[in-house]
Structure 1
């Protein structure tokens, strides 16, 4: 019997499938792979928006969709080819979370299956997706949550691993746990950051952006950022408002004169903000990044500054200082972390990370903060930042490093950034998407006193 005549897969679905394969086979970041393929294949407008929702929504809800697919198929996920599983995830998102008619979604995914994997998998693709479509998302979640312990059910309903739910529960009041997890599944706004001395927020507002309420350098933008000439030439960048706030805070308390250090600078958004503020204060910035690729991103982020104020970018390991102790008046250490605070932007990270990863990062974060304190001059300031609310990456690091030391004091974050409500925990600042509309950034501001123990 001749194979049925198939339609050529539509471009947005094919692109979304290729992004998912890159994520799951090559470890790609979904947002970066998506941006690259959208540009390479020339998708714009509605097609680009459709592909973006397919990718981001499927990555966010992968854990819950996998359970739904397994239940609908009546078999374990390991029995599917990885490529077929990605096809089923994409189809599940369309029939359960997007306004795509079931027949259109299923038919399109069957055509895509034939074109990418082969005709032999079209039958199972069709059958499983039709069984998925027999219930709506709430019905599936109710069915699968029945009999589960409350936090397991919450993990299913918000599509987070259980260990992430527990980590959030450790630092949030019970009534805020579900809103915080739900906020991770919202599409974040595009937030722009002006480079101080090179552009002003008013110019962005004149171009159609909307100024934000917390950072004086931020404006929200709808549409591709590259539409703006100021973004293309480096006078404005894309940067979450929380990221802007924690870097700005380092510049606000008094500190001695001297150079500034950005100890973990890649990819460069905070460096670019600090560069303009340091120049206005008569200082310069040294930006340190161990990765050659990320050091290149830092250099690109500050390219619009004049050569005499442009930061010095060093490819170096911040735990092995290439400078003398006590050299820098202000030190920012935006430590490598799990990224649990940016799950809105990198939703696939929730399925890649583990509690064991957090413990390994804790050791690195401790070494980096210790190095940052040693680099600060007497009276100098250190800002310890992570894009994570996990206590092992935040409070535990700071209090572990400070234990027994008499030469460092905590500068209350509420005094540094009074614009931010709910500046908790304690003397530190923890931002949240559901409270502040930012990524879940943590910062502790520390002052090195005039003697060392």
Structure 2
């Protein structure tokens, strides 16, 4: 039953509260957080779909991107602040309400949103998603949050020990801070910890790769991208949709972190005696390195075999390499720990091993909240087995690149040292010299935790924290 103004009436004749009108960008950001929480989605992958579905572009799309991604990055800090403002454990707060509280807290403490707008819009969102009772609770909590700015809250709630303080101030789990501190200490850079943590929280620029033989740096420059000056094939795009660039849409260029480009270039350019015809990517999905290596191989008359264990990821590799056919031997579904090829079949092999991904927290901020030390303990045996089989797959005198998108010592120098200790036919090649000798590469301070290895960093090089070791069989 409705009253004369069209509102539904409750039993007894009282009008029901009007349904909250939810701001479209904030509703879209909420949908991103829900997908990350419910479906284990990655924000950077689900975000484009959410924006298209909501029909948001331009400033609205930029607002959603910052609100969703920034909230996920700083979740640990915001949860600590909310604990100080809530009269119950956060585990007792309904998940959908907690998502909205985090969004509201990010607007209050990290965005140029007036407090009244941040609070009222979040209350409307909760009213629409969870009801009137939780909306009142949300209003009360966010008013407490608004009493202090970000730095004031950190000083009030953070532990006094350096690691605990850094974990709250920069929104990283304590164990991740400890691992990153150990990694920095191994390269003599322990004093750079807070700079690294801050870099993890900075939204990364879109980095493009010009694949040799199919596109040029000049073509991408004409489309608005700017060379980085570090890699001869890398450019950054400050704004706009990379898919709107013809070379990217056609697969002749791609979106690829510069660290991934650099480790592939080091493998492709390191000196090799004898035959140099067959290359292998043992963990090829989703295909960025295979596409670049295939393009480089094609220019030399060599061919790359891309191998991926999962069928759906092999499909991504086929799509990524569709314009690199001159240098592509094929894409196969195979397990790098159980090679489907004869020993000694290849001249150059890359093992981009599955890892914790703690070197890519700029692009995958949710990884810091999903990973645990147990994950690393489970990954190291797999990484070791993949490297051992890659060394069996390369001919004597050939070269293997062991790569991880993680600076964690157990996954980098720990794996390499373990393999070197058990194989007397294997030695390290100087990867640092190999990388810095690539024409057009300009980098400093790339020394890794083992002499001759390479460790890239977000705060030093603007890349993911990629590790590279080059090994050869005698």
TM-score, normalised to structure 1's length?
0.96
Q: Secondary structure of 1:251's partner?
A: helix
C-alpha displacement at 1:2, in angstroms?
4.0
Q: 2: CA distance between counterparts of 1:443 and 1:206?
A: 32
Q: CA RMSD in A?
A: 1.2
The reply to whether residue 131 of structure 1 matches residue 154 of structure 2 is no
Q: Secondary structure of 2:322's partner?
A: coil
C-alpha displacement at 1:423, in angstroms?
2.2
1:233-281 deviation line (CA, Å, top 9, x unaligned)? 1011000111100011001122232210000001110000001101111
Q: Secondary structure of 1:393's partner?
A: coil
C-alpha displacement at 1:150, in angstroms?
2.0
Partner of 2:115: 102
Partner of 1:44: 57
Between 1:249-258 and 1:152-161, the stretch displaced more is 249-258
Partner of 1:192: 208
Q: 1: CA distance between counterparts of 2:15 and 2:74?
A: 37
C-alpha displacement at 1:164, in angstroms?
0.6
The reply to whether residue 158 of structure 1 matches residue 183 of structure 2 is no
1:345-387 deviation line (CA, Å, top 9, x unaligned)? 0001000000110111001000000011000011111000000
Alignment: residue pair count? 447
Structure showing greater radius of gyration is 2
- Indicate if the aligned counterparts of 2:280 and 2:350 stay in contact, CA closer than 8 A: yes
C-alpha displacement at 1:5, in angstroms?
2.9
The reply to whether residue 228 of structure 1 matches residue 260 of structure 2 is no
1:197-249 deviation line (CA, Å, top 9, x unaligned)? 10011111122211111111111112211120111110110001111000110
2:223 pairs with one of 207, 210, 217 = 207
Q: 2: CA distance between counterparts of 1:421 and 1:182?
A: 20
C-alpha displacement at 1:130, in angstroms?
1.0
C-alpha displacement at 1:440, in angstroms?
0.3
Q: Secondary structure of 2:138's partner?
A: helix
Partner of 1:437: 462
Matches of residues 240-259 of structure 1 in structure 2 within 5 Å? 240-255=257-272, 256-259=275-278
Partner of 1:421: 444
- Indicate if the aligned counterparts of 2:20 and 2:128 stay in contact, CA closer than 8 A: no
1:1-49 deviation line (CA, Å, top 9, x unaligned)? 5444344212111111111111111111111111221123321101100
Q: Secondary structure of 2:280's partner?
A: strand
Partner of 2:393: 375
Partner of 2:8: none
Partner of 1:330: 348
Partner of 1:111: 124
Partner of 1:168: 180
1:87-137 deviation line (CA, Å, top 9, x unaligned)? 100000001100001111111111111212222311111111111111111
2:424 pairs with one of 395, 403, 406 = 406
Partner of 1:20: 33
Q: Secondary structure of 1:340's partner?
A: coil
Partner of 1:280: 299
Structure 1 residue runs of 5 or longer lacking an equivalent are: none
Q: 2: CA distance between counterparts of 1:249 and 1:412?
A: 10
Q: Secondary structure of 1:403's partner?
A: helix
Q: Secondary structure of 1:406's partner?
A: coil
C-alpha displacement at 1:72, in angstroms?
1.0
- Indicate if the aligned counterparts of 2:299 and 2:327 stay in contact, CA closer than 8 A: no
Q: 1: CA distance between counterparts of 2:470 and 2:245?
A: 34
C-alpha displacement at 1:411, in angstroms?
1.1
1:295 pairs with one of 314, 319, 343 = 314
Q: 2: CA distance between counterparts of 1:361 and 1:132?
A: 39
Matches of residues 142-157 of structure 1 in structure 2 within 5 Å? 142-145=155-158, 147-157=159-169
Partner of 1:11: 24
Change in 2 beyond 3 A, CA 1:378/1:385: same
Q: 2: CA distance between counterparts of 1:232 and 1:215?
A: 22
Between 1:173-182 and 1:316-325, the stretch displaced more is 173-182
Q: Secondary structure of 1:391's partner?
A: coil
Q: 1: CA distance between counterparts of 2:408 and 2:151?
A: 29
Q: 1: CA distance between counterparts of 2:453 and 2:156?
A: 41
C-alpha displacement at 1:445, in angstroms?
0.8
Structure 2 residue runs of 5 or longer lacking an equivalent are: 1-13, 437-441
TM-score, normalised to structure 2's length?
0.92
Partner of 2:3: none
Partner of 1:60: 73
